[in-house]
Amino acid sequence: MASSYKLNYSSILHLLLFLSSLLTSSANLSFNFYAGSCSVAEFLVRNTVRSATSSDPTIPGKLVRLLFHDCFVQGCDASVLIQGNGTERSDPGNASLGGFSVIDTAKNAIEILCPDTVSCADIVALAARDAVEAAGGPVVKIPTGRRDGKESMAANVRPNIIDTDFTLDQMIDAFSSKGLSIQDLVVLSGAHTIGASHCNAFNGRFQRDSKGNFELIDASLDNSYAETLMNKCSSSESSSLTVSNDPETSSIFDNQYYRNLETHKGLFQTDSALMEDNRTRTMVEELASDEESFYQRWSESFVRLSMVGVKVGEDGEIRRSCSSIN
């Protein structure tokens, strides 16, 4: 789906100034980094994402989540892609990640035309960027030049990723440890406007009582929405079932997520927490009422996320295969 979002002149100027300030502190990254060495790189990634999305509308959510899990553990270095015992990818906390085949397809296409040139870390970041656009969200320009990490350890996963039952303070601490602000937390949580989640990520918020009747445990969740979720997750196959993060517009990247929070229909406890606390409620209400503001803030926060802990120069490598170190 093509994006209908248009940046006005002042928004463009604001975004360019913001990006310029970021690059000052990350001089090894640049826009159009591959212009001279592999000018088709971004085109190939975008086409791969669009093609995958056209056949599977759940792909955008998977690709955005993949970037989050990569960047929050060891930085944005594609270490989450490495296969093998004891790697990040093998950790149970990453068991539900998807989108790997999209990254591999893009990498394979690029390697044919530009061998040993484009990092998997850049492909992951570009694919997440393009996934948002494919779902109708804003077009975001991001710098490239990341290098791939040379190690991946499962032990690093749990201390760094955010669980769906975190308190707001725990989330703020996690984001702060990556150099991200409370505004980044609220804005990047907007990624839950697309994608789907397994029942075990939220079914602790309600239960059936001894008589088999619905019982709400988490009062911050809308009663009827919770009952709907319980009914969807009540089958014997609930461990493999998924539910859309956004019950209204699950395949469109819009600001509906924040309107859902206002009506107490955030799927996770971490979603509801944003509406329950004065430190974040005002931002939620602003983003719920102004989609253009959400898109602009998303563009800025997404760039910051994609630059967390990046590796450049000798700190990394260009993997020939994204699933294994050279």
The amino acid present at 179, given as its one-letter code, is: G
Return the amino acid letter for 222: D
Residue 208 main-chain phi, psi, to 5 deg: -100, 135
> Which of the 8 DSSP states describes residue 163?
P
| Residue closest to 183 by CA, chosen among 26, 304, 51, 53 | 304
Short-list 80, 102, 65, 312, CA closest to 195: 65
Q: Which residues are annotated as a binding site for heme b?
A: 192
Residue whose token pair is 């509906």: 256
Residues labelled catalytic: 69
How many other C-beta atoms are found inside a 10 Å radius of the C-beta of residue 149? 29
Binding residues for Ca(2+): 70, 73, 75, 77, 79, 88, 193, 246, 249, 254
Alpha-carbon distance of 302 to 304, in angstroms, equals: 5
CB 188 within 8 A of CB 301: yes
CB 34 within 8 A of CB 118: yes
Closest CA to 65 of 32, 95, 86, 45: 95
